[in-house]
Amino acid sequence: MAVREIITLPDKRLRLNSEPVKRIDATVRKLVDDMFETMYGAPGIGLAAIQIGVPARVITMDLSKKDSGHEPRVFINPEITWKSDEKSASEEGCLSIPEYYEEVERPAKVKVKYLDLDGKAHEVEAAGLFATCLQHEIDHINGVLFIDHISKLKRDRVIKKFAKAAKKVEA
C-alpha cells in the first residue's frame, strides 16, 4: 500500500470521464489499497480513482465515526439507477479542492448499482450522508466537481483562487 498524491484544482485530469473497469485483478486491488491509504491519510470519507490521477471507475468510501473503527466500502463501475425527486442540501468539501466547503443540493435518495472487489454485482439504496457521498464520488468519475452544483459566481471565484495558487507554486 502507498499513499498517492491527490490531484487538485485546476488539474485538468479532474474533468476526465473515467473508463469502466473491465477486469478486477491485482492491479485494481492494489489501486483500491492505495486509495484507502490515501483517503484515510488525507483524511477524507470518499475518494475516486481519478483524484489520484487514475481514470478508472473506482470509488472508495468510509463513513464510519472516528471512534468506531473502519468500515471500508468499494464501488467499482458505480452507476446511479434512480434519484428521488426530494432534494437535500448539505455542506460538501473535496480532497481535490482543499479547505473549500459549500452547501450543495442533491437528490435526497439514490439507488446505485456497482461491483465489489470480487466482481459481484450489487444495488444499494442510499440516503443522507451516504447518498451525498455516492453522488459526489460518482460525479468525480464523470468529470464533474461539487463546485459545478453551486452558483457560477462562487464557482468562478474558487477556480480563480486555485488557478492563482497553482501559478505561485509553478513560479
Average confidence score pLDDT of the chain: 95
Task: Tell me which of 19, 91, 99, 137 is the catalytic residue.
Answer: 137
The string of pLDDT tens digits covering residues 73-106 is 999 999 999 999 999 999 999 999 999 999 999 9
- The residues that bridge with 82 in the sheet, in sequence order, are 111
Separation of CA 122 from chain center = 19
Whole-number pLDDT of residue 10 = 93
Q: Give the CA dihedral 103, 106, 109, 114, nearest 10 degrees.
A: -110
Domains of the chain, CATH where assigned: 12-170 (3.90.45.10)
Q: CB of 102 within 8 A of CB of 152?
A: no
Phi/psi of residue 69, nearest 5 degrees: 85, 165
The string of pLDDT tens digits covering residues 49-63 is 999 999 999 999 999
Q: Which three cell numbers stand for residue 162?
A: 486555485
Q: Would you call 137 a catalytic residue per the annotation?
A: yes
Whole-number pLDDT of residue 171 = 67
Whole-number pLDDT of residue 71 = 93
pLDDT by residue, tens only, the chain of 171 residues:
799 999 999 999 999 999 999 999 999 999 999 999 999 999 999 999 999 999 999 999 999 987 788 899 999 999 999 999 999 999 999 999 999 999 999 999 999 999 999 999 999 999 999 999 999 999 999 999 999 999 999 999 999 999 998 888 776
The answer, as to whether pTM is greater than 0.85, is: yes
Q: Give the CA dihedral 47, 28, 5, 52, nearest 10 degrees.
A: -50
Separation of CA 164 from chain center = 24
